[in-house]
Amino acid sequence: MRWRGLSGVLSSQACTLSANRLLTVAVPWLVLDRTGSAAQAGLVVACQVLPYAFTQWLAGPLLDRIGPRRISAAGDVTSAFVLLIPAVFGTPPLWLLTVMLVVVGCADGPASAAKRLLVPFAAADAGQSTARGVGLATAVERTATAAGTALAGWLVATLGGDRALWVAAAMLGVATLIVTLTVTDPVRDRGHDDETYLDRLRTGTTFLRGSPALRAVTAMFVVTNLLDQALMAVLLPIWARAGGHDATVVGLALSTVGLASIASALVSAGFGARLPRRATYLIGVLSSGPTRILVLALGLPPEAVIAVYALAGIGSGLFNPLLETLQVELIPAALRGRVQTLISAWAWAGIPIGGLFGAVLLNLGGMRTALWVCGLAYLVAVLRPAWRVDWSLPVAAEGVGSTYRTGLLTAAAPEPKEKGRLRMSVPRADFAAKVPAHRR
């Protein structure tokens, strides 16, 4: 029974992530079948993606006040009902499909953030460390990305785009049922009676602004996500075409990254808490970030590129759970909804302009220059947090599940930093003595 909550959260994540991957394939295909316009397909997809990060940030205070379980269920069931419109009224016109996806994006953002917040709580209830819970969640995400996309292609080819939306709705309905039956909300932050929604939103912003460690990690997310989008949307396809390669090489390289990251995320779940943090971070980010770009700049053959991308997948599965664990440890439990959703919103900020940035670099300096600029910028971005964050374990985080209890007891302001180092916050004894222990 101790694993019930964690199993429920992970199963629910698998369903919703698979549904989202299904939509990324089914919706553009549906629009292309209807209009034949790639521009309209991209516009409709953007209408789902753009509200996703913005509504996560807006939902932060509600996640802390109402609880992530309810918001997860409400978001998934809303998306499910919206996607069932074609089953009731037939194939929707393009304007209605666009509105549907706007609503799905608005509902899915808070629901995804809610499941992310539930992972450390459920891991603690299962007697597991935050690192193990986050590692398992990362493995689920990477598996859903690989398997969900393949399933989406098969469903669209066999059932058509309209019926594929029904399958996505069914997955979201199952996710709602799982969360409702298996997950318990953590203790919620009731706050002060006179604290308004905007006050709570400002509290999250103030905390992030006052934590140099979190600021360094957030800035790294902004830059690397922008460069990743430039690579995926522009540089990698152009590199393949310029070298006389077809889309098979690109697909194989990306699939290799996904499969390797699943394996390393499972390793992180099993042994991540024992690994030296700074070394793990450096190995992970250096192997998974700038190497994917610089290997293209060096003009190596496709076989070498695929091998480097396999190593990149291994690194990605190692350092992403570590960064998630770091955020859990640095942010008090009462503020996680507000602060983590704000970090996510910033992380998404560079994605919409990433493709444009890559295209501008190509036009200004050509392929090789664009790749070197992006690769070196990626290197600088990932190295900064390595020396701006104290990666040592918090004092109270040595036992299983103690990271969760630390978050409950930590004061809502960052600890003073030592000269040149940023310390992870730990509970004060006088504050901890006044707070009842949460259920094991």
What's phi and psi for 165, nearest 5 deg?
-65, -35
- Cα–Cα nearest to 111, from 82, 90, 143, 152: 82
The pLDDT assigned to 160 comes to 73
- Say how many C-beta atoms besides its own lie within 10 A of residue 362's C-beta: 17
Asked if residues 228 and 84 have their Cβ atoms less than 8 Å apart, the reply is: no
Report residue 222's pLDDT band, with 50, 70 and 90 as the boundaries.
very high
Distance CA 235, CA 294 (A): 11
- All domains in the chain, ordered by first residue: 4-185 (1.20.1250.20), 205-388 (1.20.1250.20)
Distance CA 236, CA 233 (A): 7
Assess whether pLDDT exceeds 60 at residue 429: no
Task: Extract the tokens encoding 40.
Answer: 């309209």
Sequence letter at residue 4: R
- Say how many C-beta atoms besides its own lie within 10 A of residue 302's C-beta: 15
State pLDDT tens for residues 242-252. Answer: 878 777 788 78
Distance CA 45, CA 26 (A): 10
The pLDDT assigned to 395 comes to 52
- Say how many C-beta atoms besides its own lie within 10 A of residue 411's C-beta: 14
Assess whether pLDDT exceeds 90 at residue 217: yes
Location of structure tokens 């697909």:
251
CA distance from start to end of the chain = 12
In percent, how much of the chain has pLDDT > 90?
25
Q: Encode 190-230 in three state secondary structure.
A: CCCCCCCHHHHHHHHHHHHHCCHHHHHHHHHHHHHHHHHHH
Taking the C-alpha atoms of 318, 321, 327 and 333 in order, what is their torsion angle to the nearest 10 degrees?
-160
